[in-house]
Amino acid sequence: MDLTKDLTSFIKSAKNPLIVILGATAAGKTDISLKIAREVDGEIISTDSRQIYQEMPIATDIIRTEEQKGIPHHMLAIKKPDEPFTLAEYTDVALEIIDQIYEKGHVPILAGGTGLYVSAITEGYDVPRAEPDEKLRKKLHEEAEEHGAEYIHEKLKKLDPEAAASIHPNNIRYVIRAIEINKSTNSKKEDKKSQPKFDIFMVGIERPREEIYERINKRVDQQEDTGLLDEVKALVEKEYDEALPSMTSLGVKEIIPYIKGEMGLPECLEILKRNTRRYAKRQMTWLKRYDNVRWLNTTQVKDYLKNESCPKNL
């Protein structure tokens, strides 16, 4: 497969081009997205539900300004850790940014690991606009801690069996959100789909699971070396509620017990590596739902990244 040739053909024929970079965490989406953006005169929109938060760039692995190589990046560090930001809000803002990118004659590129964000844009979700109910969220989180994730999932199953079937019991945040929407709107959580408005080109990075896990372990070690502990300590000192979506991010929740003196650092880091590996596994399962993806294996990724013969603008 010649990715450059496929991109050339796509850009020439697409009316509303939208490039999507798929892959598990630590697969290498950033490098691929930067290379494609340089070639197609693109701008990158993050589809990572944790990179929207400020004050935690190391934990959420936000690309540093000097690494962006002059390519515009959007939806990074736009909210304080205690500011709510729903899927509906993300969709509205991202669609507005896409329109702005088109107005400049550039190509929008979605890149990030939150599959639901990707699907909301590419499949035209009409997402319910239910306001967050902090009191209900707190109550359900407390019940989950006391009785376990399955207990909360059973509550959702009674309210909305279809939503319960589509959400893993361990994904407590989404389970609670589905209950919240149901109680707020007295209706099922239906992310209805409208007619997609984009011509979509999907590129996926497919590495062996063992390779992904090794890259994850190395990344956690690098996060520790570059200041992860100080970053989480600052968040704890500001007394952000640990139940906030931002504070349950990978890289934050696992380090909090060390900061509070409840657990040793080696154990916390190992838990972070384990949880990230499990997250990557869930991502890989989610990605199987997408059709018409140009999948790149490890060798193809290396070849594409080192090939500098492509024109700057396709």
DSSP state of 53: B
Per-residue model confidence (pLDDT) at position 191: 52
Q: Are residues 203 and 77 in the same domain?
A: yes
Note if the pTM is more than 0.85: no
Residue that has been written with the tokens 């590495």 in this structure = 207
Q: Are residues 275 and 298 in the same domain?
A: no
Average pLDDT of the chain, as a whole number: 89
Residue 101 domain flag: yes
Per-residue model confidence (pLDDT) at position 149: 87
Q: Are residues 267 and 298 in the same domain?
A: no
Residue 174 domain flag: yes
Asked whether the predicted pLDDT for residue 167 surpasses 80, the reply is: no
Q: Are residues 106 and 223 in the same domain?
A: no
Residue 159 domain flag: yes
2-23 tens-digit pLDDT? 898 899 899 999 999 999 999 9
Q: What does the pLDDT average to over 156-174? A: 79
Residue 145 domain flag: yes
Per-residue model confidence (pLDDT) at position 128: 66
Q: Are residues 99 and 148 in the same domain?
A: no
CA atoms of 293 and 291, how far apart (whole Å) = 6
Residue 308 in 3-state DSSP? coil
Q: Are residues 139 and 178 in the same domain?
A: yes
CATH number at residue 156: 1.10.20.140
Per-residue model confidence (pLDDT) at position 186: 64
User: What is the per-residue DSSP string for the chain?
Assistant: --HHHHHHHHHHH-SSEEEEEE--TTSSHHHHHHHHHHHHTEEEEE--SSTTBSS-TTTTTPPPGGGSTT--EESSS-B-TTS---HHHHHHHHHHHHHHHHHTT-EEEEE-S-HHHHHHHHTTEE---PPP-HHHHHHHHHHHHHH-HHHHHHHHHHH-HHHHHHS-TT-HHHHHHHHHHHHHHTS----EE----SEEEEEEE---HHHHHHHHHHHHHHHHHTTHHHHHHHHHHTT--TTSTGGGSTTTTTTHHHHTTSS-HHHHHHHHHHHHHHHHHHHHHHHTT--SEEEE-HHHHHHHHH---S-S--
Q: Are residues 221 and 165 in the same domain?
A: no
Q: What does the pLDDT average to over 158-166? A: 79
Q: What does the pLDDT average to over 62-68? A: 95
Q: Are residues 17 and 83 in the same domain?
A: yes
Q: Are residues 67 and 15 in the same domain?
A: yes
Q: What does the pLDDT average to over 66-80? A: 96
CATH number at residue 237: 1.10.287.890
Domain residue limits at 256: 210-281
Residue 191 domain flag: no
Per-residue model confidence (pLDDT) at position 70: 94
Per-residue model confidence (pLDDT) at position 309: 46
Q: Are residues 58 and 202 in the same domain?
A: yes
Q: Are residues 103 and 18 in the same domain?
A: yes
Where does residue 186 rank: exposed (0-12), middle (13-18), buried (19+ CB within 10 A)?
exposed
Residue 190 domain flag: no
Residue 117's CB is within 10 A of a number of other CB atoms, namely 23
Q: Are residues 169 and 238 in the same domain?
A: no
Domain count, the chain: 3
DSSP state of 3: H
Domain-terminating residue out of 185, 219, 250: 185
Q: What does the pLDDT average to over 30-57? A: 96
264-312 tens-digit pLDDT? 999 999 999 999 999 999 898 888 888 889 999 999 999 999 876 444 4
Residue 311 domain flag: no
